[in-house]
Amino acid sequence: MTTASNDILSWTNKDPRESQLFNSWGVLYRFQTTVAANGQSTTTLWRAIRPNKEDRVARLEWAANGGLGRIVIGKNTLPMSDLVRSDPRALGARVFNGPDGLQYQWRPSSSNADILLLDANGEVIAYFHPTRPTRYQIGDVYGELHFVRSAGAGTVMHPPIMDMVTVTAMLFRFCAAWNL
């Protein structure tokens, strides 16, 4: 599986709720978490649309205990747990329904430390590759999110799917870190 360099996003920070995804062109996605006076944590996912201009992709409202709460993506509100449902077919796997209505599955690779994203036909369309912490000007990088542009329907780099891949990768990393 090879991906072009612009299809690889370096991912900063151990805690994905406060992180950035970037490539040689700059920051593409940014997760920003705020805590309100009442203790409610909210993470906003921003996507760069041009220099100095971002669009809000999603708002993640965490549960009072710090666990999974609800997410607002566009005009849709749903439980975060719907995007990281355990899949009994594979150990450590989680599934979600994409904006195209098809089911996708994040699962650990059987041959390395990567976390693979499979489409409804079982093709790898993206994967998260953990790395040794590496210092960059933007921040310390703990992994890379690879998009396999030519796989499946070839739509993984289109905003609705790419946004969902980024959100669900973050939630998968969060669930793995906190054993949820």
- Residue 96 domain flag: no
- Residue 149 domain flag: yes
pLDDT of residue 6: 58
pLDDT per residue over 75-103, tens digit each?
Answer: 999 999 999 999 999 999 999 999 999 99
Mean pLDDT over 21-42 rounds to: 95
Structure tokens at 54: 């971002």
- Residue 171 domain flag: yes
- Residue 109 domain flag: no
pLDDT of residue 151: 82
- Residue 76 domain flag: yes
Give the pLDDT band (50/70/90) at residue 74. confident
Report for 4-8, 23-27, 42-46: range of highest mean pLDDT: 42-46
pLDDT at 153 over 90: no
pLDDT of residue 12: 97
pLDDT per residue over 37-66, tens digit each?
Answer: 999 999 999 999 988 899 999 999 999 998
Percent of the chain clearing pLDDT 90 (strictly above) = 81
pLDDT of residue 155: 72
pLDDT at 1 over 70: no
* Burial bucket for residue 167 (CB in 10 Å: 0-12, 13-18, 19+): buried
pLDDT of residue 45: 98
Total structural domains in the chain? 1
Strand partners, 79: 70
pLDDT at 174 over 60: yes
pLDDT per residue over 129-141, tens digit each?
Answer: 999 999 999 999 9
DSSP 60-116: EE--TTSS--EEEETTEEEEGGGGSEE-TTSTT-EEEE-TTS-EEEEEE-SSSS-EE
- Residue 106 domain flag: no
Q: Whole domain around residue 140: which residue ranges?
A: 5-85+124-177
- Residue 110 domain flag: no
pLDDT of residue 60: 98
Mean pLDDT, the chain, integer: 93
- Residue 56 domain flag: yes
